[in-house]
């Protein structure tokens, strides 16, 4: 899930998916259902989307299926849709990124309902909230989860203790239970270390809080609810970070963000398990000084993808056997070891690959934080248009950050713009 890591950090976490139930009862043009006749199983995914050792092992495990893997770079979703529309060379099995699954569900007729080929026998192995992301409102299951992105609070133990805050993860969890606690700690930290901002980017904080909720911008009845208290609460908390001057206004993935992680001016990151790779890549002098604690106010999810079977698959049952093998608990644990691809199967959390202590985190065992978080992600319905409707909120919040608008004026503008976007697409 390379894009889910770096690109979405660069674009801000706010646009990411949460632990959401996504779906649409409508069906669009299914396009061609012409069956592949090559005698191979064509498998598409994006760079980093699958663990290399797992992929190699799967291809070897099914020699008679002649699996032909294609790593598709660039805009994967657009290339997949273009191929669908062209009607030729459609893969039998394809990955679908978590941030794209909501928009794919209205096109359910392009995919095999995995429940018709035996998925019920394995769905219980995966986290229920994640399976529901790939389930249409009328009950079709389009994908088996490759991975998820449970969040935690990554923090610099040395910066915290120097600033009078607890350093031990258990004590951090105890003191920073809520976002109000977190922001108050940020005020204390700045008293002793004015260059340390406990919030890297208030816009990212806003997105995290939205993802912690059980409702988003549009409900199952296709009604706009982005002007209600659950969104306003997230907005006000982000604005509070700005007002208290504990917001570093540092875009995730930027050079300043990378440098700040290592020099301590960005002493925390609230992010998915896979963000650990980005933090490790950025840090040269602070190895061993980072720790992981539960996310204040509860877990959220960012990212996580699926494997699906298209209607062009020559033998959907055979393709399903490939997916079932590739995404078993054992293989999801191997994929974590390969590339920090966090398992969607709780049984994997007890595997040696995930139980290992991590020297980067001072010998802490991160799964002890991420495992419980993964099992407690809140479920929220996400409409196919949710991401588009969310954009004005992030855009307007950035104007508040820049001092160009008051909070109330920006909020009113965000709600108005979001309603207009929704209305054009039939949202009530």
Structure tokens at 242: 């700005």
Q: What is the rounded CA–CA span in Å between residue 255 and residue 290?
A: 19
Q: What is the mean pLDDT of the chain?
A: 91
Of 140, 70, 78, nearest to 106 by C-alpha is: 140
Q: What is the pLDDT of residues 360-369, one digit of tens each?
A: 999 999 999 9
CATH homologous superfamily of 151-200+248-300+372-382 equals Periplasmic binding protein-like II (3.40.190.10)
pLDDT at residue 183, as a whole number: 98
Confidence band, pLDDT 50/70/90 cuts, at residue 373:
very high
Of 113, 98, 73, nearest to 150 by C-alpha is: 98
Whole-model pTM: value is: 0.85
| Number of residues that make up the chain | 428
Does pLDDT of 262 surpass 60? yes
**CATH number for region 41-149+303-348:** 3.40.190.10
Q: What is the pLDDT of residues 3-45, one digit of tens each?
A: 334 334 333 333 333 444 444 333 334 444 567 767 689 999 9
pLDDT at residue 99, as a whole number: 86
pLDDT at residue 57, as a whole number: 96
Lowest mean pLDDT across 98-107, 206-215, 369-378: 98-107
Is the distance from CB of 284 to CB of 262 less than 8 angstroms? yes
Q: What is the pLDDT of residues 268-307, one digit of tens each?
A: 999 999 899 899 999 999 999 999 999 999 999 988 999 9
- 259-265: long-range contacts, CB 8 A cutoff, minimum separation 24: 260/200, 261/286, 262/286, 264/156, 264/158, 264/159, 264/193, 264/195, 264/196, 265/195, 265/196, 265/197
pLDDT at residue 399, as a whole number: 97
pLDDT at residue 104, as a whole number: 92
- Spatial CB neighbours of 82, under 8 Å, sequence gap ≥ 6: none
Q: What is the rounded CA–CA span in Å between residue 339 and residue 310?
A: 26
pLDDT at residue 382, as a whole number: 85
Q: Which residues of 254-284 are buried (b: 16+ CB within 10 A; e: fewer)?
A: eeebbebbbbbbbbbbbbbbbbbebbbebbe
Confidence band, pLDDT 50/70/90 cuts, at residue 383:
confident
DSSP letter (8 states) at residue 36: P
Question: Can you give the residue ranges of every domain in the chain?
Answer: 41-149+303-348, 151-200+248-300+372-382, 202-247+384-427
pLDDT at residue 231, as a whole number: 97
DSSP letter (8 states) at residue 208: H
- Tokens 């108050």: give the residue: 184
Q: What is the rounded CA–CA span in Å between residue 416 and residue 396?
A: 11
Does pLDDT of 381 surpass 90? no
Same fold, 41-149+303-348 and 151-200+248-300+372-382: yes
């Amino acid at each position: 899930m390379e894009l889910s890591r770096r690109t979405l950090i660069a674009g801000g976490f706010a646009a990411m998916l949460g632990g959401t139930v996504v779906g649409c009862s409508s069906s669009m043009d299914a396009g061609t259902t012409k069956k592949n006749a090559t005698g191979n199983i064509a498998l598409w995914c994006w760079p980093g989307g699958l663990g290399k050792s797992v992929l190699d092992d799967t291809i070897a495990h099914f020699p008679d299926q002649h699996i032909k893997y294609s790593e598709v770079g660039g805009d994967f979703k657009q290339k997949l849709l273009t191929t669908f529309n062209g009607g030729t060379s459609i893969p039998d099995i394809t990955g679908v990124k978590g941030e794209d699954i909501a928009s794919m569900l209205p096109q359910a007729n392009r995919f095999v309902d995995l429940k018709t080929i035996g998925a019920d026998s394995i769905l219980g192995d995966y986290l229920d909230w994640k399976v529901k992301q790939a389930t249409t409102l009328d009950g079709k299951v389009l994908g088996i989860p490759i991975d998820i992105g449970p969040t935690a609070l990554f923090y610099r133990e040395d910066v915290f203790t120097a600033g009078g805050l607890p350093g031990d993860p258990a004590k951090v969890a105890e003191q920073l239970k809520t976002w109000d606690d977190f922001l108050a700690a940020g005020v204390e930290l700045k008293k002793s270390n004015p260059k340390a901002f406990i919030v890297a980017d208030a816009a990212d904080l806003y997105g995290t809080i939205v993802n912690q909720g059980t409702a988003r911008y549009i409900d199952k009845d296709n009604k706009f609810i982005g002007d209600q208290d659950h969104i306003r609460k997230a907005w006000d908390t982000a604005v509070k970070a700005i007002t208290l001057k504990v917001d570093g206004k540092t875009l995730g993935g930027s050079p300043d963000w990378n440098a700040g992680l290592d020099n301590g001016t960005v002493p925390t990151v609230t992010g998915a398990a896979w963000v650990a790779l980005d933090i490790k890549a950025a840090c040269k002098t602070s190895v061993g000084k980072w720790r992981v604690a539960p996310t204040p106010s509860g877990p959220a999810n960012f990212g996580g993808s699926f494997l699906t079977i298209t209607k062009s698959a020559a033998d959907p049952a055979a393709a399903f056997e490939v997916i079932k093998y590739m995404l078993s608990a054992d293989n999801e644990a191997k994929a974590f070891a390969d590339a920090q691809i966090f398992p969607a199967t709780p049984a994997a959390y007890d595997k040696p690959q995930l139980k290992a202590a991590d020297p980067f985190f001072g010998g802490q065992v991160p799964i002890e934080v991420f495992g419980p978080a993964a099992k407690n992600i809140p479920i929220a319905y996400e409409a196919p248009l949710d991401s588009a409707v969310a954009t004005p909120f992030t855009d307007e919040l950035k104007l508040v950050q820049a001092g160009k608008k008051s909070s109330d004026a920006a909020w009113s503008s965000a709600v108005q713009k979001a309603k207009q976007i929704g209305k054009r697409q039939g949202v009530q």
